[in-house]
Structure 1
């Protein structure tokens, strides 16, 4: 068993008298070896039992208990049961930690042992680590131990026979008042706090806890009183300092909380490990949780499931970091109404003596700001997506792709027929997008019919956006088909937005957005967003329609200008054209091959600055003029010079390059005569596959110096050779520090020279290293 710290256990166990002690519940907590010998009861039988439980005489036990409860000592003879000796019994109430009664047992015939026992008890009195003092009824010192002298100073002789007031002045009078109350009432007083200076105020400031108790004679008379004195000066100062620091921290926390609450943010306090023990009324007002639900890690239950794991991982990392810093996170939080809103949590560590004592954090509702920012992002993404498409329905499909699932769980585009007189709306569903994880709509028929009260019908009729709640089955409101209603219940659809798309002032399509599940219901702010989306979609559709019209014109122009090459005896001709503006399908580069009146073949390629429809129109004019001016009765240079003069005078072009020539077949072989106006030189690939650039004069481009002299060049085309004309889009590169473009073109021609002429041209266009996105034209003539 454990003994109190102020009782040396080994000494007590070897006393020649039985010693026992009781706690406040009259339970035996001390039973030494001699007590076991006198009674025959081992400690395991007695310890932990109450006073009345061992086998003592019942009336005697009752009398002992009454006296001790009254705070009076008891002494007398106690018969033990059986054949054991008659015991002398003495018990005294005391005030000690965990002990209320101390007593001795002694064989009535063993008086010598009693003298020895009390001599040892005197030794314990002197060695006790607490101050012990005994006073008579006049409250004069009768006995003190050494601990009193250590606590208060002075000597024994300066105390004995003197009163507390005589020794200690005002502080002594305070203690004396307490002792008088003990003598008058006969009841002990425990741990009375006393503060002051002893020795008439000459000592240092001190604090004590004084326990006072009456002392009784064997006949029950009060013959004095005792005091147990414990010096608590250091402990009390430490306690007050801790209380002061705690009060300061609590005050600072309350001020911080008041300040934050004034800004509408919810404040919480969490422990060092990140768990919640203190109530957070502001946070609970948001989430609707009870105190019990929030405690521990229960506050995480209100975090959106998609964010919960990341929130906890980030929070645990913050609280376990060696250097705790500010913690901040943006996430969705479930509110008391069951919906979710965006919040920013921000927490800082509160330190005491350099250590983190707790965390203080706030929750700020930023849902409106987040959704406003997201609306702008969505608007930008949707606009970019629509601008990248070139067809009306493609633009609307790109719009749906940009908005699902970030803005809507379902997006549908309905192309509407002209409204009927009775108010219903018909048309065709052209686009449908559904967020991942949701079942697809049961609608299979692309045609639709909506009654007059349907949101889409109202949108088409008013040409204005519409916000509506999804009705439940049986509600008196617009109703979807039964299949759609069941689908809406299954995905928990709750709100819809509809925006009109106009062309020429007429609604040609309707955009439908459906919100479902835990997505916040759409609001008037969202209505403004879809209205802007509808406006931008209308502009995109108008542009796409105009583009389609331009494209039709461009395609017609291309078909007219870039005709199939003619068939010429002994010659194979192949052409390829790849415009830079792929969507427009035409550009400013061209090729041409046509027979001349005398039987020669006119060939050429040209490059008009620009990659758009005006460039294509200029190309068409120049091509037509050159056809009119070309004649095998005069050299190619004459036609090029005439074209330069006419085109410049008419303002058709200011910068155009071209190669125009005649392929002449005669008895002596095939010859190529040409004139070059600032264009890349032709390439001749020999029959054995060795390519080389043709040497010759290169004149100025068209539109710069129309009076400049033009010269002709001539080269023999051996059988099996291939003449290659091309525009610079085949070789141009953004970066070519080593001037490798021409060499790479020859290498490419050499690698594929053995192929049929059509495949040869395909590989030139497909495998080129050019990267300027310029128009590419290739015209190849192979001599048989």
Structure 2
């Protein structure tokens, strides 16, 4: 349908609305005619016959010129303009005689408008005709008749624009005095319950206040009204509806509102399911521990999708066993829902329980039965009592698989006025379970890789030599290693301290780029090669690093690797530390008075970048009572540190712990670090006793 203004109207979804339009067409006090694009009569109402005489058969299928001659041509000229321009013509006055001049002299007022199909294409023209002959004789009668005709026309236009699933008419103040059988058929209200402000009683309690506020704002401002809320249906459930209304004006004054209610429940729930799936997927992927992932999923779906979500960790199921056993892992209950009763962590469900059915079939299960219809549900008495009190109306269970075995089951419960779960919701939990299974598989593989990497790395991080085994007296060595946090894999940070054939003490701290098993393996190879080259050579640290760089590069061992290697030696009665730095953080010295400082010096290129580049040595005295600290960047790195505050923070930590025993000194640095990247931390500290 198309309004007289040429505005496409909503298509009525019910026969009652069509009947209402037909009734308005036939009973309107103005003449209504519809023409095709050739301006042949296609439909007219009885008012046309009352105004102009003749019969419908004399008009249908014929043009205006064929029926009315010159007067018809004048009317047709205006309609052709409307079809050509797509713009309506209002209040067109015409005087003449119909039926080829044989009729009485009359005066008419026309409203001409284009008629469009659902795609906006013009398929004809409409004509609203009023006989104003008598009105010209009696001005007072003309005013009353014109007001009635205009009111009827405006109501017709507004109704055509707004017609949808259910149509209603409200008073200028927003109350309902006229009945709306189509809306009451949805809500199940009686006429008395509906009238006044009673129509708001069918709105969901959570939506009543915002719906009333939005409606009153539209009534006060006189603007078209659009609002979405849930309505209680005749069966006691709730569905989403979109309300739309337009004001009907006469002489600029709102005389009533014409509105519709359209059922959009399927659309809203479909969009809601996508939001739940996206939120749950994001939450699951943010965790790497399998139980943490399932916990995150439960948090994401309550209350958005379920009133209660419970995660069951499933024991291996013996072939042919009906009972499913395991441990309850997570329970989440929506606010306002009666808390679930405390029950044993262990569970045993018989074969008919939805969890058992889902586990045995390795597929999601929808149980739409209310709680009082137990059927195969033998659950605990406590949960049955809770289900009755919480008005449990349906249950969904989805399995989580790993390596083809169900390792967990996710149970979702809908209670109270939440709509019972449907097959569409079953499709959602199927996708949720699939994504959870993928995430769990990834997490298990990650954890296995992490454990292998950690075991490999720990196997290569040997204990430092005790003071008695160090060839230089008065030295104490402590080391610490803290693997990366759970969101990173174990990487390639390492330390080493070992005696050299000539009695010197070798110290090394390195960092292989990457956080994976490959980085840990590369670290192990470089550590072994460094030990071998250091033992085989009496050369300076720079010489050892040059040989290590060449050998590792030629063998294809090295990745981007930073390394600080040095040796503690005695010369002229003094203890010295001589080192070479391949792109690593510089050493930190705590002087005997407790003042810490970063030792400035040469920093050469990392290993693997350019094996032919020369390397340099540097040296510092280790005064009695001083402490030397070597470390990887995991101890100091911060995501945002434009002012080098991380280095200053490390110096403050070293100053605060300077007087502690060396073991406590190392513990303090690792425990209190301000680093926030979650990277590996390797620390090697040497103290020269007084």
**In which range does the TM-score fall when normalised by the shorter chain?**
0.7 to 0.9
Alpha-carbon separation, structure 2, partners of 1:304 and 1:320: 23
Alpha-carbon separation, structure 2, partners of 1:585 and 1:597: 36
Alpha-carbon separation, structure 2, partners of 1:311 and 1:522: 26
Q: Which residue is 2:449 aligned to? A: 550
2:189 is the alignment partner of 1:289? yes
> Where in structure 2 are the equivalents of 1:391-410 lying within 5 Å?
391-410=289-308
Higher relative contact order (CA 8 A, sep 6+): 2
Q: Structure 1 residue aligned with 2:287, among 375, 378, 389? A: 389
2:567 is the alignment partner of 1:662? yes
2:515 is the alignment partner of 1:617? no
Contact 2:371 2:391 in 1 (8 A): no
> Where in structure 2 are the equivalents of 1:480-629 lying within 5 Å?
480-568=379-467, 569-583=473-487, 586-629=490-533
Q: Which moved more, 1:478-487 or 1:460-469?
A: 478-487
Cα-to-partner distance string for 1:228-252 (whole Å, 9 max, x where unaligned): xxxxx54x34322322322222222
Aligned length in residues: 551
Alpha-carbon separation, structure 2, partners of 1:483 and 1:690: 66
Alpha-carbon separation, structure 1, partners of 2:306 and 2:168: 34
Q: Structure 1 residue aligned with 2:608, among 665, 688, 703? A: 703
CA 1:585–1:666 in 2, change beyond 3 Å: closer, same or farther? Answer: farther
CA 1:251–1:777 in 2, change beyond 3 Å: closer, same or farther? Answer: same
Alpha-carbon separation, structure 1, partners of 2:492 and 2:224: 61
Q: How far apart are residue 553 of structure 1 and its match?
A: 1.0
> Where in structure 2 are the equivalents of 1:96-115 lying within 5 Å?
none
Q: Which residue is 1:70 aligned to? A: none
Q: How far apart are residue 552 of structure 1 and its match?
A: 1.8
Cα-to-partner distance string for 1:135-163 (whole Å, 9 max, x where unaligned): xxxxxxxxxxxxxxxxxxxxxxxxxxxxx
Q: How far apart are residue 360 of structure 1 and its match?
A: 2.8
Q: Which residue is 1:433 aligned to? A: 332
Q: How far apart are residue 559 of structure 1 and its match?
A: 2.1
Q: Structure 1 residue aligned with 2:347, among 433, 442, 448? A: 448
> Where in structure 2 are the equivalents of 1:14-163 lying within 5 Å?
none
Q: Which moved more, 1:479-488 or 1:604-613?
A: 479-488
Q: Which residue is 1:53 aligned to? A: none
Contact 2:186 2:234 in 1 (8 A): yes
Q: How far apart are residue 769 of structure 1 and its match?
A: 5.8
> Where in structure 2 are the equivalents of 1:253-268 lying within 5 Å?
253-257=158-162, 260-261=163-164, 265-268=165-168
Cα-to-partner distance string for 1:69-99 (whole Å, 9 max, x where unaligned): xxxxxxxxxxxxxxxxxxxxxxxxxxxxxxx
**TM-score between the two structures when normalised by the length of structure 1:** 0.65
Contact 1:554 1:584 in 2 (8 A): no
Q: Structure 1 residue aligned with 2:269, among 371, 375, 382? A: 371
2:689 is the alignment partner of 1:781? no
Q: Which residue is 1:246 aligned to? A: 151
Cα-to-partner distance string for 1:290-348 (whole Å, 9 max, x where unaligned): 22111111111111111111221222233223xx3333222211111110111222333
Alpha-carbon separation, structure 1, partners of 2:159 and 2:223: 21
Cα-to-partner distance string for 1:26-84 (whole Å, 9 max, x where unaligned): xxxxxxxxxxxxxxxxxxxxxxxxxxxxxxxxxxxxxxxxxxxxxxxxxxxxxxxxxxx
Cα-to-partner distance string for 1:639-698 (whole Å, 9 max, x where unaligned): 212211221122111321111011124661210011111223223232223344434443
Q: How far apart are residue 740 of structure 1 and its match?
A: 6.3
Q: How far apart are residue 727 of structure 1 and its match?
A: 2.7
Q: Which residue is 1:466 aligned to? A: 365
Q: How far apart are residue 783 of structure 1 and its match?
A: 1.8
Cα-to-partner distance string for 1:602-661 (whole Å, 9 max, x where unaligned): 112112111233222212221222122223733222321221122112211132111101
Q: Which residue is 1:153 aligned to? A: none
Alpha-carbon separation, structure 2, partners of 1:684 and 1:330: 69
Contact 1:419 1:461 in 2 (8 A): no
Q: Which residue is 1:150 aligned to? A: none
Q: Secondary structure in 1 aligned to 2:420?
A: coil
Contact 2:155 2:248 in 1 (8 A): no
CA 1:482–1:723 in 2, change beyond 3 Å: closer, same or farther? Answer: closer
Q: Structure 2 residue aligned with 1:331, among 215, 220, 229? A: 229
CA 1:277–1:758 in 2, change beyond 3 Å: closer, same or farther? Answer: farther
CA 1:614–1:596 in 2, change beyond 3 Å: closer, same or farther? Answer: same
Cα-to-partner distance string for 1:1-30 (whole Å, 9 max, x where unaligned): xxxxxxxxxxxxxxxxxxxxxxxxxxxxxx
Contact 2:158 2:248 in 1 (8 A): no
Alpha-carbon separation, structure 2, partners of 1:509 and 1:205: 85
Contact 1:465 1:499 in 2 (8 A): yes
Contact 2:350 2:378 in 1 (8 A): no
Q: Which residue is 2:624 aligned to? A: 719
Alpha-carbon separation, structure 2, partners of 1:695 and 1:702: 20
RMSD, aligned CA: 3.0
Q: Which residue is 1:38 aligned to? A: none
Q: How far apart are residue 556 of structure 1 and its match?
A: 1.2
Q: Structure 2 residue aligned with 1:311, among 200, 211, 227? A: 211
Q: Secondary structure in 2 aligned to 1:548?
A: helix
Q: Which runs of 5+ in 2 are unaligned?
A: 1-131, 468-472
**TM-score between the two structures when normalised by the length of structure 2:** 0.73
Alpha-carbon separation, structure 2, partners of 1:576 and 1:547: 24
Contact 1:470 1:493 in 2 (8 A): no
Q: Which moved more, 1:725-734 or 1:370-379?
A: 725-734
Contact 1:471 1:478 in 2 (8 A): no
Contact 1:492 1:517 in 2 (8 A): yes
Alpha-carbon separation, structure 1, partners of 2:653 and 2:317: 57
Contact 2:172 2:254 in 1 (8 A): yes
Contact 1:471 1:479 in 2 (8 A): no
Alpha-carbon separation, structure 2, partners of 1:330 and 1:748: 59
Q: Which residue is 2:278 aligned to? A: 380
Bigger Cα Rg: 1
Q: Secondary structure in 2 aligned to 1:389?
A: coil
Alpha-carbon separation, structure 2, partners of 1:751 and 1:428: 47
Contact 1:304 1:333 in 2 (8 A): yes
CA 1:752–1:476 in 2, change beyond 3 Å: closer, same or farther? Answer: closer
Alpha-carbon separation, structure 1, partners of 2:562 and 2:244: 67
Q: Secondary structure in 2 aligned to 1:630?
A: helix
Alpha-carbon separation, structure 1, partners of 2:174 and 2:501: 95
Contact 2:583 2:604 in 1 (8 A): yes
